[in-house]
Amino acid sequence: MLLENKVAIVTGGAKGMGRGIALKFAEEGADVVVCDIDLDGCLSVAGEVEALGRKALAFRTDITNKAQVDEMVAGTLDDLGTVDVLINCAGGVPGTHGSGATGTFTEEEWDRIVAINMKGPWLVSEAVIPTMKKNKRGRIVFISSMGAVSPVVSVLHYHAAKAGAIGLSLNLAFELAPYNICVNNIVPGPIETTFWDSLMPPGPERDAFFAAVSKREVPLGRVGSPKDIAGAALFFASELSDYVTGQTLCVAGGQPLLAQEATFNIEAYLKERGLL
């Protein structure tokens, strides 16, 4: 029970990697706060956490809205008394209209995607830091993207924001180290979650795509799952990483070990099939 009696907030916890992290933490003894813009999903995951014998709270939270973030953290403190761990998992490119390459999106789209992926994690971190400072302990984990450090397709606003979140985390790690607050990053490789549904619905086409990515892009030869990310998050959230801060861990099956010219061209694959 690596997180026995700890309280963890997981943003973006209604599905995908966030759900996987929430359930792994509950299995390891944590009470979990699930927040997302999808309230029904939050309630569902909270029910799964409670079925594992832990306390759970569910909040509909837009992380770009400071008032909603503050309300979620205040509610957590009222009901559970503290915050030990924050997982900044919420993000993505919901509702985008362009491909993310130059000339395909507006200034407003840039601002929206940067707000979701960089401003939002900053707001949530700011909201929990006072409690962690008071306790003289805490763990903050940012979920970034392989595109932030080794892109194979151009999604400028999303990848730039995820790279900015890494910069934010490194500065927080430096600033908060005297308070025994460790701040680290996870960079996922290709992970099969609902993130892909808007690009490519589940089915033979997606199976073929992931098989090609696995063969050409991932040295371990498979696409990852939320469970793979949850294991890394557990390491950073627990006492196993007491002497680790300011680090970025690629959980990507060996990416980006392969030479750039040998990698699978995801952008070309999607364009050939009219999916981008």
Q: Which residues are catalytic?
A: 158
- As a whole number of angstroms, the distance between CA 19 and CA 16 comes to 5
- Using alpha carbons, select from 252, 21, 20 the residue that is nearest to residue 146: 252
Contact between residue 189 and residue 146 where contact means Cβ atoms under 8 Å apart: yes
CA dist 126 to 15, 110, 190, Å?
Answer: 24, 23, 29
- As a whole number of angstroms, the distance between CA 80 and CA 71 comes to 14
Rg of the chain taking only CA atoms, in angstroms: 18
- As a whole number of angstroms, the distance between CA 125 and CA 133 comes to 12
Contact between residue 45 and residue 34 where contact means Cβ atoms under 8 Å apart: yes
Which amino acid is present at 203?
G
The terminus-to-terminus CA distance of the chain in angstroms comes to 44
Which amino acid is present at 213?
V
Q: DSSP H helical segments within 177-255, as ranges?
A: 204-217, 226-237
Strand partners, 181: 138
Dihedral angle sign, alpha carbons of residues 215, 276, 146, 41:
negative
